[in-house]
């Protein structure tokens, strides 16, 4: 499992709190197996967190959304806080010009 700085893309040791290259704070949402964890512009419902997670980890998008909604309901907002953390922590997908 690779681990990259969200700001500059520098490879980091797993568990690093700060990027050794640009000094950015690294969040728990920054684990990147294979493809970058981003919030896609296309296909998002709210902030693109669910689709970003499903694409990065190969999870089923519908399942991720259902679990997110159920999690928010049954954890008294704990998952909502995690969702917000991912919203802030996961960078938006770079806009690709045609
Ligand atoms: Zn960096």
pLDDT tens, position by position, 6-20: 778 888 777 677 788
1: pLDDT strictly greater than 80: no
Residues 44 and 73 in one domain: yes
What DSSP element (H or E) covers 43?
none
**pTM for the model:** 0.51
Residue with tokens 């640009």: 22
Domain limits for position 28: 1-33
Q: Are residues 70 and 54 in the same domain?
A: yes
What pLDDT does residue 34 have? 57
Task: Give the distance (Å) from ligand 1 centre to CA of residue 4.
Answer: 8
The per-residue pLDDT for range 69-95, each reduced to its tens digit, is 899 889 988 888 888 888 888 888 876
Q: Please check whether residues 21 and 46 belong to one and the same domain.
A: no
pLDDT band at 96 (very low <50, low <70, confident <90, very high): low
Examine the domain organization and report whether 44 and 29 are in the same domain: no
Cα(12) to ligand 1 centroid in Å equals 9
Q: How far does residue 43's CA lie from ligand 1's centre (Å)?
A: 28
How many angstroms is it from 2 CA to the middle of ligand 1?
Answer: 14
Q: What is the Å distance from ligand 1's center to 8 Cα?
A: 4
């Amino acid at each position: 499992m690779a681990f990259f700085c969200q700001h500059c893309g520098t490879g980091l040791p797993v568990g690093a709190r700060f990027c050794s290259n640009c000094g950015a704070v690294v969040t728990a949402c920054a684990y990147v197996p294979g493809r970058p964890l981003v919030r896609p512009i296309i296909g998002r419902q709210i902030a693109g967190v669910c689709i970003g997670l499903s694409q990065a980890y190969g999870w089923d998008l519908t399942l991720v959304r259902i679990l997110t909604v159920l999690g928010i309901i049954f954890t008294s907002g704990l998952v909502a806080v995690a969702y917000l953390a991912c919203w802030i922590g996961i960078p938006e997908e770079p806009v690709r010009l045609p």
